[in-house]
Amino acid sequence: MSKKQLRIGMVGYGFMGRTHSNAFMQASRFFDLGYKPELSIVCARNRERAQAFADQWGYGGVETDWQKLVARNDIDLIDIAAPNDMHHDIAIAAAESGKMVMCEKPLGRTATESRAMVDAVRKAGVPNMVWYNYRRIPAVTHAKNLIDSGKLGRIFHYRAQFLQDWTISEDLPQGGEALWRLEKSVAGSGVTGDLLAHCIDTAMWLNGRIENVTAMTETFIKKRKHNLTGQIEKVRIDDASAFMARFRNGSLALFEATRFARGHKALYTFEINGENASLIWDLHDLHRLQFFDHHDEGTERGWRSIHVTDGEHPYMDKWWVPGLSIGYGESFIHQAADFIKGLDGDPATPTFADAHETDLVTDAVLKSAETGQWEKP
């Protein structure tokens, strides 16, 4: 049976442009989908580099103006893998042109921006999704299934960390193509919107809505040279962010993210403690889920390591034989496949509306860090 064509226009050719392109290329090879993704056009300001990217990944053409890309009638889906300050305008224009929209996280630099994006896709009635890929790691999805089954019972605690160390040097500049994450006008915030946003999205998917937060942030290096101006300028993003929270279900939470944890490149962990069981997940060992079940016989009770590679585990029946692991890139393939399957059924999450809820929490965290008060998202 012939499959419908899904013609993709990608905005951006950086790290996320590569992960998304690979996801679309592989999705229909491992999953039975009603659509066949086609890498149609890649869009970036530098034509020469965009063409090199197009040649490498198999895109059919290049645009240097995203507005021209959005206006094309030979594109079905706009995928936004550009810096955060471009998400709002591109997503709204794409929705108004009747195109499906996928967007890198965070959805907006602020919840006000993302609210307008939610309104645009709702008004246009177009399918939409935000690339919070950690939901699609099989061990994390398995954790979701265990929680939803009631295996943990009442949840008491949730704690998460996302630790990196790449901005410690005072000689590291800010701004420009490679370091826009250090510039507030482009990124919106520092680790709160970059790293904690992942933690928050996963947490609310697993454990429900966050009701209020109290936070602190710190910018350890106050001034950096700007890549574009060459001037020493004030750093206005947060290098570290930590907050306590209460979930709607009554559980308590601790969240921490920093780019100043020497020795950590991308340590993302979460732990959930329930009445009957607890579980722990660690990105560095992403195919394993640590699980403790109090219902086990006392003489055998203890933490078990579940190797999430069996065909009965989420997504794993589409990959290799049991015992052989997959990795980070496959989570994007899963997300692309889920989005495409959702075009003929229930829409896949997280939608723009879901990602807006995360932006509300990150806004509340930043506000609390300023006011010193508990804040509601």
Cα 145 to chain centroid, rounded: 20
Question: Model confidence over 230-277: pLDDT tens digits?
Answer: 999 999 999 999 999 999 999 999 999 999 999 999 999 999 999 999
Overall residue count recorded for the chain in this entry: 377
pLDDT over 90 (residue 194): yes
pLDDT over 80 (residue 2): no
Number of Cβ within a 10 Å radius of residue 232: 10
Q: Nearest CA to 216 among 187, 198, 233, 239? A: 239
pTM: 0.97
For residue 1, what pLDDT is reported? 57
Q: What is the mean pLDDT of residues 301-318?
A: 97
SS3 244: strand
Question: Model confidence over 144-191: pLDDT tens digits?
Answer: 999 999 999 999 999 999 999 999 999 999 999 999 999 999 999 999
How far, in Å, CA of 163 to CA of 170, rounded? 18
Mean pLDDT (the chain) is 97
Q: Nearest CA to 214 among 177, 183, 253, 184? A: 253
User: In the 8-state DSSP scheme, what is residue 353?
Assistant: H
User: In the 8-state DSSP scheme, what is residue 166?
Assistant: T
How far, in Å, CA of 274 to CA of 360, rounded? 26
Q: Nearest CA to 8 among 95, 89, 101? A: 101
Domains, the chain, in order of start with CATH, read: 4-133 (3.40.50.720), 134-371 (3.30.360.10)
% pLDDT > 90, the chain: 98
How far, in Å, CA of 236 to CA of 257, rounded? 17
